[in-house]
Structure 1
Amino acid sequence: MKQLFQIENNSPGKLHQVLSLRVGEKHCSFATSDKYGSQLHKLTYCTSDNKPATGWDKNELLAFFTDYSLLPRLFDQVLICYDFPQSLFVSGAGYNQDEAGLLLTTLGNGHGNRKMNSELIPGWNVYNMYTVPVEIQELFEEAFPAAAYQHQYALGLKSLTKRYDGATLAIDFDTDHFNVIAVSGSQFLLAQTFEYVTPGDVLYYLLKTSQQFSLAQDEVRLQLSGLVEKDSALFKELEQYFIHVECREARWEQNSGYPAHFFTSLNDLARCAS
């Protein structure tokens, strides 16, 4: 396990704390905040030391929980977001829970080592059906029995509250992959995860997505969040090919010392608290 980022604020009155946790194949991060998602108390982002083919396992996640004193602490709410790419969207009218096994086979994960989950995404009339490694999901359920769960794609779609008449590509970057959510007005188009090494890889997938859905490069809006610097070669490359490029910033009240868009997804998750 390798820690890449850590933020800790000496916020007064840490009552009613909310724990927001994101876990993917190669990363795990958490934030503790107030119930409104505006006061950030602590934030940590780590990557897995395990081989890329395996990613996080139960023992490494337990070490993560222990090292950062997440257990056996009590939180008022625990919100967990899965960022695993094995996912399929179906329309609300076409959703059939009994077809979960078929989905597992379609995704190439029908060997009993993953659990099936599904969620209706309010406002978009689509279901996201996704899988999570069994040992990881069971660990979270045991460690945080009262937690609320959702997938990163659902979280990203819910964050698109400001609808444009045109198209939007919402892009969230991690160290070696990025999620793309494509919408046009109120129509959902795509949610997918791509791995990348160079800026050219990112550009290739975004141009391919734009071409697939006939999105004009001078009209589509790119909303960036996650681990991308505004002065990076990647950001500059995107500005050369797309006219409307902006960063969607987290709404923590404190200055974290990092670019405000780095941890927007964790802030989105924290703001789901009730």
Structure 2
Amino acid sequence: MVQKTFGIYTTTDTTAEEERLYVELGQRHIALWTAEETTRQILAFELFEHEMSPLDSLAEVLKQVKLFSRLLDNRYAKTQVIWENQECLLVPNSFHDREIAPNYLDLMFGNSVNTLVQEQQRPAEQMTAVFRIPRNWKDAAQQYFPGAAFEHKYLQLYYRFSNDPKGIYTLFYRSHFILILVKGFKVQLLQTFDYQTPEDALYHILNTCNQYKMDYDTTPVHVEGLIDLNSPMYEELKKYLRDVSTAEPSGEWQIGSEFAQHPPHYFLPFFKMMS
């Protein structure tokens, strides 16, 4: 089952040569947005949520998405596909060995069948993302987005937060969130946690603080994504964490008035992926 959660479209006149399509293929969602190449203005955003298991057919989900998407019928100068799944490890290049990389994943996440082990490097950051995706995901993505560039979300997030001094950053989706812990201008942890209740999410954040010896009262916790500031989730975080705030757009991209009915932090986990 696929449900369209967001459909926001601007009236800016552009040509296909000026637009870039971004596609985030997630564990429980597919997000699509377009941006003007030179001004980096967001032109449209769609979010579809699905109940696909990891080995279900992504092609079938994309087929359903295409029925209700206004973005997949167009042609674009460039397409960027972002994998958003938790079976990913960031390995310093000096320790990376392609031959044994699959063993890293088996050790952390268990053995898997019908999956592909993929790698992506950012030489400037001296880091390699080693991850695996269901084989049918790769086949479907190449079918629907021929010629697209591919990257894993973790590596882009590592790049985004490596220069921050200290803090915990949480990117919320409907039933999972990505946690990035930064300490001493270095990303110490980047991990996905599932949750069903506010207490689940709070536990993972507090437990992370304990493991990395970071004080609850002085550690800033930045929240972004699909979380309402009047929700029990946000209230629970505020109750136990002294320095909680929503992240703000950095100014690297622009959104129009069509987005004004929603708080900007809803879109940050997606638009931060714009390279």
Decide: shared fold, TM above 0.5: yes
Instruction: Give the direction of change, closer, same or farther, for the CA distance of 1:123–1:239 in structure 2 (3 Å limit).
Output: farther
Amino acid at match of 2:267: F
More displaced, 144-153 or 114-123?
114-123
Matched, 1:129 2:133: no
Measure how far apart 1:60 and its partner are. Answer: 1.4
Q: Which residue matches 1:88?
A: 89
Map residues 35-54 of structure 1 onto 2, 5 A cutoff.
35-36=37-38, 38-50=40-52
SS at match of 2:209: helix
Q: 1:55 Cα deviation (Å)?
A: 5.9
Give the C-alpha shift of residue 125 in structure 1. 3.2
Q: Is the 8 A contact 2:121 2:129 kept in 1?
A: yes
- Comparing 41-50 with 167-176, greater Cα deviation is found at 41-50
Q: Specify the alignment match of 1:180 in structure 2.
A: 179
In structure 2, the residue matched to 1:20 is 22
- Structure-1 residue corresponding to 2:268: 264
1:24-81 alpha-carbon deviations (Å, 9 max, x no partner): 121111101111573222111111144x575663211222135325456321111111
| Contact preservation (8 Å) 2:25, 2:82 | yes
Q: Is this contact kept in 2: 1:101–1:110, CA < 8 A?
A: no
Aligned residue pairs, count: 267
Unaligned runs of 5+ in 1: none
Q: 1:12 Cα shift?
A: 2.6
Contact 1:3/1:45, CA 8 A, preserved across alignment: yes
Which of 22, 29, 32 is equivalent to 2:34? 32
Larger relative contact order (C-alpha < 8 A, sep ≥ 6)?
1
Root-mean-square deviation (CA, aligned residues, Å) is: 2.2
Aligned residue in 2 for 1:74: 75
Q: Is the 8 A contact 1:82 1:152 kept in 2?
A: yes
Shift of 1:260: 0.3
| 8 Å contact kept, 2:57–2:136 | no
- Tell me if the contact between 2:142 and 2:148 (Cα under 8 Å) persists in the aligned partners: yes
Unaligned runs of 5+ in 2: none
Query: Could you tell me the TM-score, scaled by structure 1's length?
Result: 0.88
- What residue in structure 1 maps to residue 243 of structure 2? 244
For 2:21 and 2:28, how far apart are their aligned partners in 1?
20
Rounded to whole Å, the distance in 1 between the matches of 2:212 and 2:102 is: 29
Question: How much identity, in percent, do the aligned residues show?
Answer: 21
Give the direction of change, closer, same or farther, for the CA distance of 1:216–1:39 in structure 2 (3 Å limit): same
Aligned to 1:96, the other structure's residue is in SS state: coil
What TM-score comes out, normalization by structure 2 length?
Answer: 0.88
Alignment correspondent of 2:115: 114
Aligned residues of 1:124 and 1:186 also touching (Cα < 8 A)? no
